[in-house]
Amino acid sequence: MREHHIGVRRTARYFTSGDASRGVAEVWFACHGYGQLAARFLEKLRVLDDGRRYLVAPEGLSRFYLSESPTERRVGATWMTREDRLAEIDDYVRYLDDVYADVFGSVDRARVKVYALGFSQGTSTVSRWATLGKATIDRLILWGGEFPPDLDLTVDAVVGRLRGAQLTLVYGRSDEYITPKVLSGIGERLRQHGIPYEEIPFDGGHELNEAVLRHLGG
């Protein structure tokens, strides 16, 4: 048995909030967590929509049913799984580059600051996109998720991009996934490669927090 790969065309979707024609100062690309949908995730970021920001929420390319219940078959999406993971990473990095290009077809990139926020599984997604893609990210926010352990920090271009982006780690103090041990490992790795970052903890779990969002929005 042989494995083969081919490139195919497919339709992806993203959602936006705000008016890009009003001369916004910031564009936020927000990548949802495992099992979420972009539209519902974007609703949680409404606090940022104050007229000077344009919010962009791409949706993971793979959707699935969250439950087999015949009465409530809710749908979620994922950015990747461990199956054929390298191809899926390449696919979503190219996809996010395409979303970026589509957005800046109507927005003047030179006039705005670009934020990339990833929540949960989305943290690995935006980390890889910020370092492996074509987009220029001014601030990278990893919320409630790990910095990808397999991202090669011996590559100068990768480290250079991370040093050029303002890196922020946000986590709930009772988050069951981002434990002190996990956080310590992330911090040690970043410091080892001279990548500056800040931490913003809050009282809560694996969730977004409105007060922190307001703080990040300045």
Please say if the pLDDT value at position 71 is more than 80. Answer: no
Amino acid at 159: V
Crossing angle for the helix pair 121-132 and 156-164, nearest 10 degrees? 110
Q: Which domains does the chain have, with CATH numbers?
A: 14-217 (3.40.50.1820)
Distance separating alpha carbons of residues 125 and 128, to the nearest angstrom: 5
DSSP type of residue 29: E
pLDDT at 201: 97
Q: List, for residues 21-41, the tens digit of each pLDDT value.
A: 878 999 999 999 999 999 999
In this structure, the number of other CB atoms found within 10 A of the CB of residue 169 comes to: 23
The closest of 55, 49, 67 to 27, measured between CA atoms, is 55
Is residue 43 within 8 Å of 10, Cβ to Cβ? Answer: no
Please say if the pLDDT value at position 81 is more than 80. Answer: yes
Q: List, for residues 115-174, the tens digit of each pLDDT value.
A: 999 999 999 999 999 999 999 999 999 999 999 999 999 999 999 999 999 999 999 999
Please say if the pLDDT value at position 211 is more than 90. Answer: yes
Place of tokens 């949960």: 120
Compute CA distances 143 → 12, 71, 79, whole Å: 24, 33, 16
In this structure, the number of other CB atoms found within 10 A of the CB of residue 34 comes to: 16
pLDDT at 203: 97
| Residues listed for the chain | 218
